[in-house]
Amino acid sequence: MDIVLQQLITGLGIAAVLLLVALGLAIIYGTMGVINLAHGEFVMLGAYGAWVLNAYFGLGLLASLPLVFLGVAILGWLVEKGVIRHLYERPLDTILATWGIGVMLQQIVRLTAGGELRYVQMPAALGHSTTILGVDVSAYRVFIFLTVVVLFAVTWLLMYRTTLGMKLRAIVQDRSIANCFGINSGRVFGLTFAYGAGLAGLAGALVAPLKSVSPEMGTGYVVDAFFVVVLGGVQSLFGTVGSAFLLGELTGVIAYIRNDTIAKALVLLAIVVLIRFRPQGLFAVRVRS
């Protein structure tokens, strides 16, 4: 029984990190249809932002989170305004452009901060372990899990209980009709992209104490994020949660039986097979035609 609880909690920890990284992409890809290959670099910038604020300004991780979110969100808004909005309805060009932006961001960070590994200190108050149902769990992992729950709730409220969310859903349904009703789709898309980028930056700052920070760290995260969003079903926030939970638990169990490398390979194989037979994802959203 203890082993089952241990694996369940381990899987929840992995799922929380997956959902944290994928949530911003779920907003951008799910609503705007933009395949943002620079998403991993937004995560990387968030991690470097936390490191810079700590190393040069003495700010702790928790105090730096609002600044990191705001900084990466502004960068995302500039990217959407300067590049992405000129490439809507041109998915191949969008892929190439965001891939190029990601490469440039990596090189800019490498030239300014150096290519060596950086480390972000975990908050002292969260550096201990706590006991849940008789299982020792890192307090920082619990903090990440609770933060993800709050971020998901805020995102859901933003999408389904605010005027901005209503306008965004109207644009997703039919952009031309929404424009006829006076909705400024460019402004809504700009704010949506900025919010998704800000979430990615926040994810980078939060996972920084768990991983070493490097210019290439976002490459792995963007693959995981796309698999979570596609498996969950595009436009489905709850689907993103479900797929993150499923992948987290599956990865945890296989890693316990074998090892992390085999777990990663088998999970990716399972996702490819599932997408082959259910391309709309496990939790596809039904919309009126």
**pLDDT per position as a tens digit, 232-261:** 887 788 888 888 888 888 888 888 888 888
Position 235 scores a pLDDT of 72
Average pLDDT of 209-227? 88
* All domains in the chain, ordered by first residue: 1-277 (1.10.3470)
Alpha carbon separation from 18 to 95, 144, 185 (Å, rounded): 22, 11, 30
198: which residues sit within 8 A by CB, 6+ positions away?
24, 69, 70, 72, 73, 76
Tell me the pLDDT band of 143, cut-offs 50, 70 and 90: very high
Cα separation, 210 vs 261, in Å, equals: 18
41: pLDDT strictly greater than 90: yes
Q: What is the DSSP secondary structure assignment for residue 84, as one 8-state letter?
A: G
Q: Which of 4-8, 164-168, 221-225, 275-279 has the lowest mean pLDDT?
A: 4-8
289: pLDDT strictly greater than 60: no
Position 209 scores a pLDDT of 92
Position 1 scores a pLDDT of 64
The residue assigned the tokens 């005027």 is: 163
286: pLDDT strictly greater than 90: no
| Per-residue pLDDT tens over the stretch 54-86 | 999 999 999 999 999 999 999 999 999 999 999
Instruction: Give the number of other CB atoms < 10 A from CB of residue 288.
Output: 4
Answer left, alpha or beta for residue 182, where phi above 0 means left and psi between -120 and 50 means alpha. Answer: left
| Per-residue pLDDT tens over the stretch 156-171 | 999 899 998 898 888 8
Position 193 scores a pLDDT of 94
* Per-residue H/E/C for 87-130: CCCCHHHHHHHHHHHHHHHHHHHHHHHCCCCECCCCCHHHCCEE
Q: What pTM value is reported for the model?
A: 0.90
Cα separation, 111 vs 107, in Å, equals: 6
Position 189 scores a pLDDT of 92
Helix intervals (H) in the chain: 2-27, 39-57, 61-82, 91-113, 139-160, 163-173, 175-180, 185-207, 217-232, 237-257, 260-277
Both tokens assigned to 264: 């990663």
Tell me the pLDDT band of 265, cut-offs 50, 70 and 90: confident
The chain-wide mean pLDDT, for the chain, equals: 88
Burial of 128 (0-12, 13-18, 19+ CB in 10 A): exposed
